């Protein structure tokens, strides 16, 4: 968009924002279903070579030869799809529009690269911090107890986000 000096039409931008909201709701509902059906929880695991780590796992996934327990994993294609939708919708859309208004293509591309790097670093730090917090929950506050709260909060946020993109004043803050 920067190199072509074009803009995303307003209806397309709104549609991507709604899609982001729908996907957030879908992922939250999927989390709640897996929590209820498969018992998402954390375990400390020991691997060959003395490697010890803790991660999410369920009893509903298929274990492999190397891992007699089942990890919750996302395929590279699924991760790419989530990133693609997230990049088109959300705050990236307006950021690209702002960058597209920069007269110099070189400055615009440079600014986009800085934005992409900053986004990658900040999302990695946030995801790592959240993951560490989840696996180190205090006794009595297990992941099994926290998951429904996270799922309902995620579904509520996704619904609010999508409705707001449609222009529905779902939660007036006045």
| 151 neighbors 33 (Cβ within 8 angstroms) | no
- Is 159 a residue whose pLDDT tops 90? yes
pLDDT given at position 93:
63
- Is 128 a residue whose pLDDT tops 90? no
- How far apart are alpha carbons 31 and 40 in whole angstroms? 9
Q: What is the pLDDT of residues 39-67, one digit of tens each?
A: 666 667 777 787 776 666 565 555 555 55
| 168 neighbors 21 (Cβ within 8 angstroms) | no
* 3-state SS, one letter per residue, for 31-92: HHHHHHHHCCEEEEEEEHHHEEEEEEEECCCCCCCCCCCEECCCCHHHHHHHHHHHHHCCCH
Q: What is the pLDDT of residues 63-119, one digit of tens each?
A: 555 555 555 566 788 777 777 776 666 666 667 667 777 778 888 888 888 888 888
Task: List 57's β-bridge partners, or say none.
Answer: 41, 71
pLDDT given at position 1:
56
pLDDT given at position 154:
93
| Residue bearing the bigger pLDDT, 171 or 76 | 76
Q: How many CA atoms lie within 13 A of 6 on its CB side?
A: 4
| 38 neighbors 61 (Cβ within 8 angstroms) | yes
- How far apart are alpha carbons 150 and 136 in whole angstroms? 16
Residue 113: burial class (beta carbons within 10 Å; 0-12, 13-18, 19+): exposed
| Residue bearing the bigger pLDDT, 158 or 41 | 158
Q: What is the pLDDT of residues 10-31, one digit of tens each?
A: 787 788 888 888 988 998 998 8
């Amino acid at each position: 968009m920067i190199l072509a000096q074009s803009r995303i039409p307003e209806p397309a931008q709104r549609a991507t924002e709604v899609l982001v909201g729908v996907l957030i709701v879908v992922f939250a509902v999927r989390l709640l279903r897996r929590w209820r059906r498969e018992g998402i929880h954390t375990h400390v695991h020991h691997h060959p070579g003395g490697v010890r780590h803790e991660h999410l796992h369920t009893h509903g996934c298929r274990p492999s030869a190397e891992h007699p327990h089942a990890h919750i994993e996302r395929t590279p294609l699924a991760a790419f799809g989530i990133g693609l939708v997230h990049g088109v919708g959300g705050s990236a859309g307006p950021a690209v529009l702002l960058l597209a208004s920069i007269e110099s293509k070189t400055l615009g591309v440079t600014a986009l690269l800085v934005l992409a790097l900053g986004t990658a670093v900040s999302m990695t730090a946030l995801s790592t911090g959240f993951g560490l917090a989840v696996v180190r929950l205090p006794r009595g506050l297990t992941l099994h107890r926290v998951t429904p709260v996270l799922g309902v909060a995620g579904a509520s946020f996704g619904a609010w986000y999508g409705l707001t993109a449609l222009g529905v004043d779902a939660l007036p803050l006045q």
